[in-house]
Structure 1
């Protein structure tokens, strides 16, 4: 990320956004129960780039966001980390500007320019005051269309990534999630393999440049521009800037196949010296296109996604005092999804905490969610969804994410309505379908000297050392 370092310049942006951002969100087009997204001009250029432009004139600022459908899952075997390195280097030098010149230009107007690769796609974003919209568009477009991936910047970024890999091996929670995903996803798929220092050594700058040429194409990509401008004029600027971007063949993606264990698939990750054990339970879940997603979101909020109001937090922290924090998550992508429950506790409490988690899930399955719990979950989303869009950049990002997942702008505006339509029967049906206390993936990270013996009471387990780079 490139951000302005000059406090005065940066405050030009922050002061412009102030309290007006909330007014912008709630005064946009919509009705009772509708999420107030602005009205977008939605066109697709001849090269396949989808462009959405909306006027948002409550603040004198402009936000650009691009989603390119290439991410971590598109990296070739043995070169894990390639997509993330490519994204990190987009803003580190272009045909027209060096990295120092880019930094000076964006810092000079108090703006921001950044790029990040995720599992499914890469996002590039720029935000500037309205008076600097031309510069913002130039820096934004150059980063996407003409990055040079300088060798010096590449070496620096790769060194930073290697340090991040080492940091991951010191974090029990990150280790637990990494191992759970490696067990959940087919072992031949990229997403079952973590980034390692070895894989980063195999990534050279030539591979990064080739990856960009092959995967960064307009067809399938989407651009959102939101801010203080005339929509038609902005559309013309974008068309002129990106209209010459040559389309290309989008490489086919390998489908994701998830493991569905018949019992408890248990892996113990031995990390000497830990005074706590970290527990992760993982199960296949819903894809983002599944019609049961609204019911699942409410269920997850009730089970463990609702902080202190969730069942798991109430039972295992508040009442039993076994952990400081416990949470559940529902992760959805267009072609697969999974659920994850995660917590840490003292070594002597690991087995009891694990058993308490299963007992709480069984209780939910046996007794069902209550009407009061469901209404509280709906009320939470009715407030949090609009508030999550108070920053214009969040609106732009939310639109891109929703479109990528296959939703329409109408679907996004009706998000609260869809959640409100979920019945108690829907939530309990989804719970019975996707929660199973007899068949799941279990990962526990801890000190083997203290945990091996008590963990045998749970189920037979595979043991690996935390430094095992392959994690297969």
Structure 2
């Protein structure tokens, strides 16, 4: 099955809005139309494919169902650890041999663990595609976990944990998530704790690969110099030996904290780092697209957003202030952040609350909605201007279960949002009375009666 997707007048609309001064013609040309093929291998493995034979290169993105939130509590950090170990030797090749061979083949391979999925990224030259694919297959099916690289990667993660404990932004984010998802795996640290990490063994990671890497729930996107028949054979070589089903822990729905709270974490630093938010909408919620537009106007649109205008431009309280929607498979958040001088923390918090209250009460203006639509629909094509970006977008659409037609329908969904939709949704989504804040620093002017923690 094939789907031809066209991006009409995308760059022209951005230029009309005045947000892009210069743009190379190659970007516009590359993103004008893509044809998505749904490929099924002889062994029954499916993938989405966009052929591009202009460069002898193939990019693949894939995702297994299950992430760091699915690991047992006593094995926290194992999934993140695994992501760092899979290119440290596999099959007959030890770590040095494996990475040397990657360099010789000009092959790129990386992995990352998220809350609900485990992601892989693979890139290979056409002339080395088969041998590169064999290395990827070995990484997934016969990783070595030799002691020397195992200890080296563990020490690197331990150093990251220690470093992050001194980073105000990471401290704020980690502490805030722990509050929001109290008692749920989403509230854990993805790297785990030093204690958990020290207890992990190669056998733990080997067991995790057997439980996590399975055909069921596997999503794959491929872009580049390969046709459907060639891809079908490659899919079976890479993923064909995996078990049909995995064995990951099922997650319960998360209960998001709804009690207004200000958590102050004292640090002797000149600025206060603020993380704020409340419950959001999951990706499959019928109001998600209107919520996405609403958030763009409120805090997701950079210099054009209300939070930036009121807090940075008018008052100079911060260099950066933002908000975004953060959907998980079993929960959802509306998240925002800013940093400011300690002496102006109270004022910044006050304006954040006021802007959320104003948006909830009044909604956006017709001009704000029109400008948001112009930018959001015009800039969408820029997500498809490289093979890597296309593969990433197609994978995200699959993991979000949006359907292959979403690329074509997405701008129509944005344009269909009305001012009435946003005013209705603003009252429903934005909950200033349930705002939870974590502030790291020595904030002045924050109501001490609200402070929880320290």
* TM beyond 0.5: yes
- Verify: 1:461 aligned to 2:451, yes or no: yes
1:285–1:337 CA contact under 8 A, matched in 2: yes
1:50–1:220 CA contact under 8 A, matched in 2: no
Per-residue CA deviation, residues 109-151 of structure 1 (Å, 9 max, x unaligned), is: 3331111111111111211222221122122222212211222
Q: Which residue of 2 aligns with 1:27?
A: 33
Q: Which residue of 2 aligns with 1:3?
A: none
Offset at 1:330?
0.8
Offset at 1:241?
4.2
Separation of aligned partners in 2, 1:156 and 1:85 = 11
Offset at 1:373?
0.7
Offset at 1:304?
0.8
Q: Which residue of 2 aligns with 1:407?
A: 402
Q: Which residue of 2 aligns with 1:129?
A: 125
Q: Which residue of 1 aligns with 2:340?
A: 345
Q: Which residue of 1 aligns with 2:220?
A: 223
SS of 1:91's partner is: coil
Which of 48, 66, 69 is 1:70 aligned to?
Answer: 66
1:24–1:56 CA contact under 8 A, matched in 2: no
1:308–1:314 CA contact under 8 A, matched in 2: yes
Separation of aligned partners in 1, 2:347 and 2:237 = 63
Offset at 1:211?
1.0
Q: Which residue of 1 aligns with 2:307?
A: 312
Q: Which residue of 2 aligns with 1:254?
A: 251
Which of 142, 150, 156 is 1:154 aligned to?
Answer: 150
SS of 1:106's partner is: helix
When the two structures are superposed, what TM-score results if normalisation uses the length of structure 1?
0.86
Q: Which residue of 2 aligns with 1:201?
A: 198
- Verify: 1:336 aligned to 2:331, yes or no: yes
- Verify: 1:416 aligned to 2:411, yes or no: yes
Q: Which residue of 1 aligns with 2:242?
A: 245
Separation of aligned partners in 1, 2:297 and 2:422 = 10
Separation of aligned partners in 2, 1:20 and 1:131 = 25
Gaps of 5+ in 1: 1-17, 29-37, 465-472
When the two structures are superposed, what TM-score results if normalisation uses the length of structure 2?
0.89
Which of 259, 283, 286 is 1:288 aligned to?
Answer: 283
Offset at 1:21?
6.4
- Verify: 1:142 aligned to 2:148, yes or no: no
- Verify: 1:436 aligned to 2:426, yes or no: no
* Closer, same or farther: CA 119–285 of 1 in aligned 2, 3 Å: same
SS of 1:39's partner is: strand
1:83–1:117 CA contact under 8 A, matched in 2: yes
Number of residue pairs aligned between Structure 1 and Structure 2 = 429
* Closer, same or farther: CA 27–21 of 1 in aligned 2, 3 Å: same
Per-residue CA deviation, residues 358-395 of structure 1 (Å, 9 max, x unaligned), is: 11122222332011111111112212221011111221
Q: Which residue of 2 aligns with 1:51?
A: 47
* Closer, same or farther: CA 417–381 of 1 in aligned 2, 3 Å: same
1:260–1:440 CA contact under 8 A, matched in 2: no
Separation of aligned partners in 2, 1:422 and 1:164 = 43
2:182–2:257 CA contact under 8 A, matched in 1: no
